[in-house]
Homo-oligomer: A and B are copies of this chain.
């Protein structure tokens, strides 16, 4: 059942050292900035962060990395013009990196949420990222076997939640949110608006409240 947290710090309470944390967003769109900042303030460390990118500038995920809280990053695109915090840690051998093609990352998160034990994907076949992975030829095409990525906690951003935790997103900020909400034991969402239950169109709800545990209202 969804609960509404008074502030981001309350919303991320209980994240343990060593947790796997799924963090939504593609670039700045859909980044749960306030929740990531709150996570940093908890002091929880030895984290595995699963996110499309590995932080920009000195805020959000980059600040979490800079604070030394992250042991391992699973992402599709760590290297960006302003990913210097990650770059430095990586080059110094102080952080582990698993690079996953973006579509495989999305599908592995979906598999975790959907109870799928593994799946065969054509993406990555014959590349460096296939090393160590099982392959199988199905109907004449080669595939890699990929496994689910489950989170202990998901931190995501949506546009609006109703009182039942049903979520809608805005435009391309939807990106990983619905998948991560389904793939984590505890799903925490920051939203710009909270409305009464029944105010959202049942045909247009993207993440049903069943996938949501905690909601916090933050500034837009």
Contacts and interface: CB of A to CB of B under 8 A. Distances in A.
Of the four ranges (under 10, 10 to 19, 20 to 34, 35 or more), the interface on chain A belongs to 20 to 34
A107 interface: yes
Interface in A72-110: 107
A41 interface: no
Contact of A203 (B111, B114, B169): B169
Nearest to A111: B119
A117 B117 contact: no
Contacts of A138: 117-118, 147
Interface string A177-220: 00000000000000000000000011110100000000000000
Interface in A108-143: 111, 114-122, 136, 138-139, 141, 143
Contacts of A141: 117
A168 interface: yes
Interface string A32-74: 0000000000000000000000000000000000000000000
B122 A115 contact: yes
A157 to B, nearest CB: 15
Nearest to A144: B117
A126 to B, nearest CB: 15
Contacts of A168: 203
Contact of A116 (B121, B169, B206): B121
A26 B159 CA distance: 32
Given A117-B122, A117-B143, A118-B136, 11 more contacts: A111-B119, A115-B122, A117-B120, A117-B136, A117-B138, A117-B139, A117-B141, A169-B203, A171-B202, A201-B204, A203-B206
Interface of A: 107, 111, 114-122, 136, 138-139, 141, 143, 147, 168-171, 201-204, 206
23 contacts: A111-B119, A115-B122, A116-B119, A116-B120, A116-B121, A117-B119, A117-B120, A117-B121, A117-B122, A117-B136, A117-B139, A117-B141, A117-B143, A118-B119, A118-B120, A118-B136, A118-B143, A119-B119, A168-B203, A169-B203, A170-B203, A201-B204, A203-B206
